[in-house]
Amino acid sequence: MGIALIWCLALILIKWITSKRRGAISYDSSDQTALYIRMLANSEIEVSVSARNVRRLLSFQRYLRSSRFFRGITVPNSSNILDDDYNGQAKCMLEKVGNWNFDIFLFDRLTNGNSLVSLTFHLFNLHGLIEHFQLDTMKLRRFLVMVQEDYHSQNPYHNAVHAADVTQAMHCYLKEPKLSKSLTPWDVLLSLIAAATHDLDHPGVNQPFLIKTNHYLATLYKNTSVLENHHWRSAVGLLRESGLFAHMSLENRQLMESQIGDLILATDISQQNEYLSMFRSHLDRGDLCLENANHRHFILQMALKCADICNPCRTWELSKQWSEKVTEEFFHQGDIEKKYHLGVSPLCDRQTETIANIQIGFMTYLVEPLFGEWARFSNTRLSQTMLGHLGLNKASWKGVQREQSGSGDDVDPAFEEMDSDILPQEPRLS
């Protein structure tokens, strides 16, 4: 009875502490549509460190209690972690983690909502990073648990499952011949961490929303790559808190933090044209040399950009689910904007937009140009598979569009009205 009471109190404390999260948009539990934007007050700063540490400790203890791996069993080598900690079905799925048709939704169910922790830990082990960098497996597990917890599960799209999906896609790209024979363990390490943390603490609303509501993050980052800067800084905070790389030199830790930031900042969709133009120019000149560390880093930026928006390149069954989830998140933002008379953002009005229109515009202006150039760089079976799915999925959405409007030629006007500086040109395959 006493233990049960202690755990009840602990759970109440966790709920109270997590409700005090800084830097996010939150919703009052008594009214799920009520918006309040919390500014960073001086009085909060003094409490935040100790409160956050308590939450971390309790969260990790809760994970320890629920995981078979940590029930008093000492495992001498990291490869056995997978044998003890995964049920049979999830383990079988991880044997196919490099397949492009990997079903992250099924894997998340099999791991009881721990897809990001399970998949990323497995990839660290698979790529030999634990041994190469002499990582403490307990610290690694703790870091990944903290990362997973700092994604907002109430977000339909920008949540830990999306991060796991992007990490799995990044793994597929790292296996491509041009990359696999050139990348160093350092490159792989940065890529997996950046993929897992690229949307960390995403509030479920976009940058224009944060700017027009005068959110403190918009002020902090001067209205530039607001979310991406926040994801990066949040990742750095967890890396430092976990002590995962405390055994490295300060110089290497600082380099790691900086390069992870470069990768995450590249996912800012408003910078799409800039990166795509550089990529296209390199391919036109044929001057990419993956023995050059700077060129490798640039290719990893492009790979993460591809992984971040690869949903339309998955099978229809997976792509359709992602399309529905991201549209639900858009429409939820639009509902809030209507309620508070903020002006509805493009793509966010459920009265005038449809999933089909949004997806066709997204594929036409953003996905096709990027993956067309990626196929020029890495003309492999995977690239052709992705382009094949992309074409079929676009045709499927056009079929839906025809059923809804009687015409298949419409492109969402919201994409046409976007600043031309962020709209890339059509892809050129050669």
- For the chain, what is the largest distance between any 2 Cα atoms, rounded to a whole number of angstroms? 72
Determine whether the annotation assigns residue 400 to a binding site: no
Determine whether the annotation assigns residue 159 to a binding site: yes
Mention every residue, 6+ apart, whose C-beta is less than 8 A from residue 16.
Answer: none
Of 170, 179, 146, nearest to 56 by C-alpha is 146
Task: State the alpha helices, DSSP H only, in 73-159.
Answer: 79-85, 88-94, 104-110, 115-126, 129-132, 137-149
Determine whether the annotation assigns residue 409 to a binding site: no
Angle ∠(116,121,127) on CA atoms, nearest 5: 125
CA dihedral defined by 247, 250, 252, 258, rounded to 10 degrees? 130
Determine whether the annotation assigns residue 162 to a binding site: yes
Is-contact 169 311, C-beta < 8 A? no
Determine whether the annotation assigns residue 229 to a binding site: no
**136, 265, 307, 362 from 371: Cα distances, Å:** 37, 19, 10, 13
Measured distance CA(168)–CA(101) in Å, rounded: 10
Determine whether the annotation assigns residue 307 to a binding site: no
Measured distance CA(166)–CA(85) in Å, rounded: 23
Both tokens of residue 126? 């698979």
Catalytic option among 122, 127, 152, 158: 158
Is-contact 303 173, C-beta < 8 A? yes
Instruction: Indicate the DSSP class of residue 345.
Output: P
Query: Do β-strands 35-37 and 25-27 pair in parallel, antiparallel, or remain unpaired?
Result: antiparallel
Determine whether the annotation assigns residue 308 to a binding site: yes
Determine whether the annotation assigns residue 188 to a binding site: no
As a whole number of Å, the end-to-end CA separation of the chain is 70
Measured distance CA(338)–CA(420) in Å, rounded: 27
Mention every residue, 6+ apart, whose C-beta is less than 8 A from residue 49.
Answer: none
CA dihedral defined by 157, 40, 144, 168, rounded to 10 degrees? 30
Determine whether the annotation assigns residue 410 to a binding site: no
CB-hemisphere CA count at 13 Å for 103? 15
Measured distance CA(123)–CA(97) in Å, rounded: 9
158 is catalytic: yes
Could you list the residues known to form a binding site, using ranges. 158-162, 198-199, 308, 359
Could you list the residues known to form a binding site for Zn(2+), using ranges. 162, 198-199, 308
Which residues form the catalytic set?
A: 158
Could you list the residues known to form a binding site for AMP, using ranges. 158-162, 199, 308, 359
